[in-house]
Structure formats: structure tokens, C-alpha cells
Amino acid sequence: MAEPYSLQQYIDDLRQLAADTDDENVIFERLAPLAGRVVADPSWLQAKHYQSDAEQGFGVHLLHEEDDHSLAVFAVNWMPGRGTPPHDHGTWAVVAGIEGVEHNVRYARVDDASRDDYAELEVKTAFDAGPGEVLCIHTGGIHKVSNETDTLTLSLHTYGRHVNYTNRSQFDLESNERKAFKLNVE
Ligand SMILES: [Fe+2]
């Protein structure tokens, strides 16, 4: 039987890892298995983490961040049939599934990035991620997430920096518009 691994242990390990390196490949290699461990026994989850923001389509609950907004950890839930627009994070991201299946689409930017308010995206991959699956996204990586099922989904999100403090973007696939993306965080 696996050793218990608490959310606090995860945060302690995250801090140590960030102190050791800023190489995103090393962070992903070491953090992904730890994220998998902390979602394997989510006894740290509370009822409020299942509360969604109906306007936004998902609920974002901050579990940890440093005083300078680095190393942010969130419990995020998606309402049935809802999702995000395509977006980047302005930092690295590690997402670990807790409950339900979340549909991910990853994009490549195919224009010359010469304009701040315009971006052309092309689908790279699309896949479903379930409980215990861990997804790592480099700084600049673009994806969208949706819940195509009829029950709430829940996942643990860890970022190099709180995503409301990174100048990250959302993308409109029809107009090719690129604009700021801020979350309502509980
Ligand atoms: Fe994301």
C-alpha cells in the first residue's frame, strides 16, 4: 500500500523543487509523480471545492500560493458541458485529474506572433484525461479544457505562478483575437 501523502507534503516538496531548479523539464519530471500521489488520496478535498461559478462555467479554489504569487495550487472543477476558451498560462502548469474525465485540446500557434492582439492556432492533439492522469504544459503552451460529461469534474492544478498574475492570454478561434484571461478565484 502506498504511503499517505498529504497536500502539505506536496506543497513542501513543490517549494523544495522550485528552490532546486527552474528547468521546466526537471520540474515536470519530478512534480508529475508527486501530483499523481496527492490526487490518489484526495482526503484534503473539502465540500467547497465542488462549488462552481456558473457564469464562468468552472470553479477555481486556491489551495496555496507563495507571498509573491509563485507556486500556486488550485482545485478546479468544471460544470457539465462547460469549459475554457483556448488559453496559455504565462508560466508552467501541471494538472492532475481527481474526478471525472476532462477533454483537452492542445494548440500550436501558427502565425508569426508579430501582433499582441492576434493569433492563429492549429489543433495539435485532443485527448481525454481521467483521475490520476497528469498533464504538463510548458510556459507558452496553449490548450483548452472542457467537461463533455454530465457530472462535475475536478482536478488539481499547479502553476509556477498564480495565473491571474502572469499576463496570460485567451484566444478566439473564430476572430483570431488574443486578449487577457483572468479567472474568478474563490
Ligand atoms: Fe489551462
Q: How far apart are the first and last CA of the chain?
A: 34
Ligand 1 center to residue 135 CA distance, Å? 10
Ligand 1 center to residue 19 CA distance, Å? 24
Cross-strand bridge partners of residue 155? 76, 97
Whole-prediction pTM value?
A: 0.96
pLDDT on residue 3 = 75
Residue ranges, the chain, pLDDT below 50: none
Grid coordinates representing 53 are: 461559478
pLDDT on residue 21 = 98
Ligand 1 center to residue 74 CA distance, Å? 12
pLDDT on residue 4 = 86
What does the pLDDT look like over 91-106, one tens digit per residue? 999 999 999 999 999 9
pLDDT on residue 1 = 54
pLDDT on residue 175 = 97
Grid cell 500557434 is found at 109
Ligand 1 center to residue 48 CA distance, Å? 21
Dihedral sign of CA atoms 17, 18, 22, 23 in order: positive
Q: What is the DSSP string of the chain?
A: -PPP--HHHHHHHHHHHHHH---HHHHHHHHHHHHHHHHHS-TT--GGGG--BTTTTEEEEEEE--TTSEEEEEEEEE-TT-B--SB--SS-EEEEEEES-EEEEEEEE-S----TTB--EEEEEEEEE-TT-EEEE-TT-EEEEE--SSS-EEEEEEEEE-GGGTT-EEE-TTT-BEEE----B-
What does the pLDDT look like over 10-48, one tens digit per residue? 999 999 999 999 999 999 999 999 999 999 999 999 999
Ligand 1 center to residue 1 CA distance, Å? 32
Q: What is the DSSP string of 80-106?
A: TT-B--SB--SS-EEEEEEES-EEEEE
Ligand 1 center to residue 7 CA distance, Å? 21
Ligand 1 center to residue 122 CA distance, Å? 17
Ligand 1 center to residue 9 CA distance, Å? 24
Ligand 1 center to residue 46 CA distance, Å? 22
pLDDT on residue 16 = 98
Going by C-alpha positions, the residue among 4, 65, 44 that lies closest to residue 154 is 44
pLDDT on residue 181 = 94
